[in-house]
């Protein structure tokens, strides 16, 4: 059996805007090992959602995959028809979308909504759907499933709605869950509960998780492997321990520097917006990271990813820098 459940190779995704073409995801390669949580982290607009939407062939209408490969469980998804993709979505790969709370159907009881996938994929007999829904509700932490079953989304808090979405995502027992910033709008305690649920699911079913986030604190706690994304490129990747011990790309260092230190009394998590990133051009080609590290200056032409130590890859911007940074 292939060690990786998901293998994205040199994925390039563009958007057409009038006569212009804008590259949103640029030669991205990423792998998710079976049983692991892989984090994709990066600032707003770096291409995280577009990368993950490509996996399920759910790009916005003006977006298209130019080249690359996306293999799931050894199968090339880019050659799949719509019909074949529908069999995969929700069933073998579930996605918790970035703005998913808004997509809950306001007119449908949540107990019925969470078994939609099971109904669609015909996975269990109809008479068993309700008991399955109750079990799912219990699994995601509701201690009164029979009551919640009959509620509508507007009757639930944000955290509860997010748990409903996780129940939906788990319902068909997918091998891979893609969670796109599943906790952004939730308070810290609820965030942890939600991430714990996803983590528990992964452990119980030996499933895998692709976790999209902009929070390195979340990465530290939940991820086995990390990909850092900037301007459509992966700029660094390694196992979570290595990334924290030896971050090399200035952008990774900046992100790690933005994790609040509990002992410093700093209450608010600094976001990357708090750093002067105007030096990064839109396509990520130019990076003037003097702001962060004294050893770096101005780079222009990006190299491909370079393995700086075993299984630790960094994208440097010219030969000279490469040598400096490794040394």
Ligand X SMILES: Nc1ncnc2c1ncn2[C@@H]1O[C@H](COP(=O)(O)OP(=O)(O)OP(=O)(O)O)[C@@H](O)[C@H]1O
Q: Least distance (Å) from Mg ion to the CB of residue 187?
A: 20
- Name 194's Cβ contacts closer than 8 Å, sequence gap at least 6: 159, 162, 163, 166, 182, 183, 186
Interface with Mg ion includes 49 (CB under 5 A)?
yes
Residue 280: name its binding partner from ligand X, Mg ion, none (Cβ under 5 to 8 Å by kind): none
CA distance 27 to 25: 7
Interface with ligand X includes 102 (CB under 6 A)?
no
Interface with ligand X includes 57 (CB under 6 A)?
no
Q: Least distance (Å) from Mg ion to the CB of residue 324?
A: 33
Judged by CB under 6 A, which of 9, 29, 33, 45 binds ligand X?
45
> Which residue's Cβ lies closest to Mg ion?
49
Q: Least distance (Å) from ligand X to the CB of residue 108?
A: 27
Q: Segment contacting ligand X (CB under 6 A): 41-49, 114-122, 217-225, 284-292? A: 41-49
Q: Least distance (Å) from ligand X to the CB of residue 70?
A: 15
Residue 24: name its binding partner from ligand X, Mg ion, none (Cβ under 5 to 8 Å by kind): ligand X
Q: Least distance (Å) from Mg ion to the CB of residue 198?
A: 17
CB-facing half-sphere around the CA of 268: CA atoms within 13 A = 5
Judged by CB under 6 A, which of 48, 161, 233, 321 binds ligand X?
48
Helices 129-139, 158-170: axis angle to 10 degrees equals 120
| Minimum CB distance to ligand X smaller for 51 or for 91 | 51
Contact yes or no for 196/114 (Cβ under 8 A)? no
Q: Least distance (Å) from ligand X to the CB of residue 231?
A: 8
Q: Least distance (Å) from ligand X to the CB of residue 316?
A: 22
CA distance 16 to 23: 9
Q: Segment contacting ligand X (CB under 6 A): 46-54, 118-126, 128-136, 264-272? A: 46-54
Interface with ligand X includes 135 (CB under 6 A)?
no
Interface with ligand X includes 284 (CB under 6 A)?
no
Strand partners, 209: 37, 177
Interface with ligand X includes 214 (CB under 6 A)?
yes
Interface with Mg ion includes 46 (CB under 5 A)?
no
Q: Least distance (Å) from ligand X to the CB of residue 9?
A: 18
Q: Segment contacting ligand X (CB under 6 A): 58-66, 72-80, 130-138, 297-305? A: 58-66
| Minimum CB distance to ligand X smaller for 47 or for 159 | 47
Q: Segment contacting ligand X (CB under 6 A): 39-47, 85-93, 236-244, 247-255? A: 39-47
Q: Site residues (CB under 5 A) for Mg ion? A: 49, 98
Q: Site residues (CB under 6 A) for ligand X? A: 15, 24, 42, 44-50, 60, 62-63, 98, 214
């Amino acid at each position: 059996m292939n060690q990786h459940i998901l293998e994205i190779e040199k994925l390039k995704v563009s958007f057409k805007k009038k006569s212009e073409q804008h590259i949103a995801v640029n030669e991205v390669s990423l792998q998710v090992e079976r049983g692991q949580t892989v984090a994709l982290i990066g600032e707003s607009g770096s291409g995280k959602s577009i990368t993950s939407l490509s996996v399920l062939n759910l790009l916005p209408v003006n977006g298209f995959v130019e080249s690359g490969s996306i293999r799931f469980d050894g199968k090339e998804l880019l050659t799949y028809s719509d019909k074949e993709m529908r069999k995969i979505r929700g069933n073998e790969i579930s996605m918790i979308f970035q703005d998913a709370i808004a997509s809950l159907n306001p007119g449908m009881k949540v107990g019925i909504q969470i078994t939609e996938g099971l109904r669609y994929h015909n996975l269990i007999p109809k008479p068993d759907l309700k008991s399955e829904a109750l079990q799912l509700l219990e699994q995601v932490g509701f201690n009164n499933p029979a009551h919640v079953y009959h509620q509508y989304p507007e009757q639930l808090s944000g955290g509860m709605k997010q748990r409903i979405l996780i129940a939906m995502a788990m319902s068909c027992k997918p091998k891979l869950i893609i969670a796109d910033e599943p906790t952004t709008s939730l308070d810290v305690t609820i965030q942890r509960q939600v991430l714990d649920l996803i983590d528990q699911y992964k452990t119980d079913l030996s499933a895998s998780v692709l976790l999209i986030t902009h929070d390195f604190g979340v990465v530290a706690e939940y991820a086995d492997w990390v990909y850092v994304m900037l301007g459509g490129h992966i700029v660094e990747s390694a196992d979570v321990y290595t990334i924290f011990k030896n971050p090399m790309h200035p952008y990774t260092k900046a992100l790690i520097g933005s994790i609040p230190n509990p002992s410093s009394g700093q209450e608010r998590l600094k976001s990357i917006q708090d750093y002067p990133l105007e030096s990064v051009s839109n396509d990520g080609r130019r990076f003037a990271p003097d702001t962060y590290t004294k050893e770096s200056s101005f780079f222009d032409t990006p190299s491909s990813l370079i393995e700086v130590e075993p299984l630790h890859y960094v994208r440097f911007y010219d030969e000279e820098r490469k040598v400096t940074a490794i040394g």
